[in-house]
Amino acid sequence: MTAGTLSDTREPRPRVNTLTTGQLPRLIELWLVLASAVITGLGLLLVGFNLTGWLVLTALVYLLAIGVASGLVESRRKATDRVIRGVVTAAFLLAVAPLISTLVTVVMQGIGQLNWTFITQTGGSKFNMDTLKVVNTPGALQAVVGTLLITGIAALISVPIGILTAVYLTEYALVRSPLRRAVTFLVDVMTGIPSIVAGLFAFSLFSLIVGPKAFSGFSASIALCVLMIPIVVRSTEEMLRLVPMELREASYALGVTKALTIIKIVLRTAASGIVTGVVLAVARVIGETAPIFIAASFTDNFNANPFAGPMQTLPVLAYTGYKFPGQDIAASNASAWGAALLLVILVIIFNLSARIVARLFAPKGAR
C-alpha cells in the first residue's frame, strides 16, 4: 500500500471553533454578583450586618471571583478586561448611589405635602383671633414666584453677557492679547468663588446704594449673576470652538461680513450646545440658598416686586422650614420637604424644555 493510499484513509480532524472556546458562560457575571452578595450577606449576619460593608465586600468578592474564573478559563488579557470593567461599574454605581438616595428621599418625604393647594396658596404662620392660637398654613406660592423672578432676572442679565464674552474670546480676541488673558483669568477665578461670597458682594453693593435694609429680589439676582456668568462663558466658548473653521471661511468667501457670519453661521451651528450650557447654569443657581438668604432674606408674605422688600424662594423655604420651624415643627418640616420636591420638579421641567429647544435649534444633520 502506497503512502498516498494511507493518507487518504485517515479520518479528518474535527474543526475547533476558536471564537467560542475558552469563554465563560454568558450570564456568569450576573451569577457571580448574586453568589457574592449571598456569601458576604451570610458572613456578615454572623458578625453583625451592615449595608455599606455588605456592598463593599460584595464588590470585592465579585472582582476576585471574576478575575480568578476568567484567568482559569479564558486568557489573562480577558481576565484583566473583566476586572477593570467591574471596577468601572462599581465606581459608577458609587457615584450614582447618593443621587438616587437623595432623589428617593425627597420624593418619599415631599409627595404627601405636594398638592395644588400647596402650590397656589401663600403659606406662613397666622394668629387666629377666634381660637387665640397660631395656625400654620402650608403654602409655597410666594416661594415659587420668588424663585422664578429671581432666577429669570439673573438669566436675563447673565446669558447675554456670557454669550457676548464668549464670542469676543473665540472670534475677536487675539491669542496673545492681554485683555483676552485677563478675561480668561477672571472667568476662571469667578468659577471657583463660593456662593456665599456672591451673596455678600450683592448685599454689600446694594447696602452702599440704598442703605442698610437692602434686602430685595434684584439684589439676589445680582448675586446669582456672579455665579451664572462664568458657567455661560465657559460652556459657550467650548461650543463655539467646536464649530469648524471651514464654515466661517466659506461664509467669508461668499462676501458675508464677520458679524453676520457669527450670527447666522457660528451661533446658529452651536445653538444646541449653548442652550444646554445656559440650562446648566440656571440649574446651578436655582437651588442656591446662601446668596439668596443673605441678599433677599426670607418672608412669609407674598411679594412679587423684586425691587422692594425681602423675597422668598424654594431653597430658602426648605432651609428655613428646618432651621427656623414654627410652633408646629412637623408642619414646618413637611413644607420644607414639599418645597424641596417642587424645586426638583422645576429643575426637571427646565432640563426637558432645554432638550426640546436644543433639538429644534440643532443642525439638520444632527437631529
Going by pLDDT thresholds of 50, 70 and 90, the confidence category of residue 1 is very low
Q: Which of 2-11, 61-70, 153-162, 343-352 has the lowest mean pLDDT?
A: 2-11
CA–CA distances in Å: residue 316 to residues 200, 295, 297: 16, 12, 8
- Hey, what's the cell of 106? 425627597
Q: Are 24 and 73 in contact (CB under 8 A)?
A: yes
Give dist(CA 83, CA 244) in Å, integer: 39
All 3 cell numbers of residue 101? Answer: 438616595
If we measure between CA atoms, which residue out of 258, 260, 189 comes closest to residue 227? Answer: 189
Low-confidence winner among 131-135, 141-145, 285-289 (lowest mean pLDDT): 131-135
How confident is the model over 210-246, as pLDDT tens digits? 877 778 889 999 999 999 999 999 999 999 998 889 9
Secondary structure (DSSP) of 110-175: HTTT-SHHHHHS--EEEEETTTTEEEEEP--HHHHHHHHHHHHHHHHHHHHHHHHHHHIIIIIS-T
pLDDT in tens, 316-325: 888 888 877 7
Asked if 346 and 147 touch (Cβ cutoff 8 Å), the reply is yes
Q: Mean pLDDT throughout 109-122?
A: 83
Q: How many Å separate Cα 171 from the centre of its chain? A: 29
Q: Using CA atoms, how far apart are residues 309 and 366, in angstroms rounded to an integer?
A: 47
pLDDT given for residue 360 in this prediction: 77
User: Does residue 193 register a pLDDT over 90?
Assistant: no
Which of 162, 166, 161, 157 minimizes the C-alpha distance to 266? 166
pLDDT at residue 82 above 50? yes
Mean pLDDT of the chain: 83
Categorize the per-residue pLDDT at 99 as very low, low, confident or very high, splitting at 50, 70 and 90: confident
Domains annotated for the chain, with CATH where assigned, are 23-110 (no CATH), 133-366 (1.10.3720.10)
For residue 280, pLDDT over 90 is answered with no
Residue 204 in contact with residue 261, Cβ under 8 Å? no
Average pLDDT over residues 76-91: 88
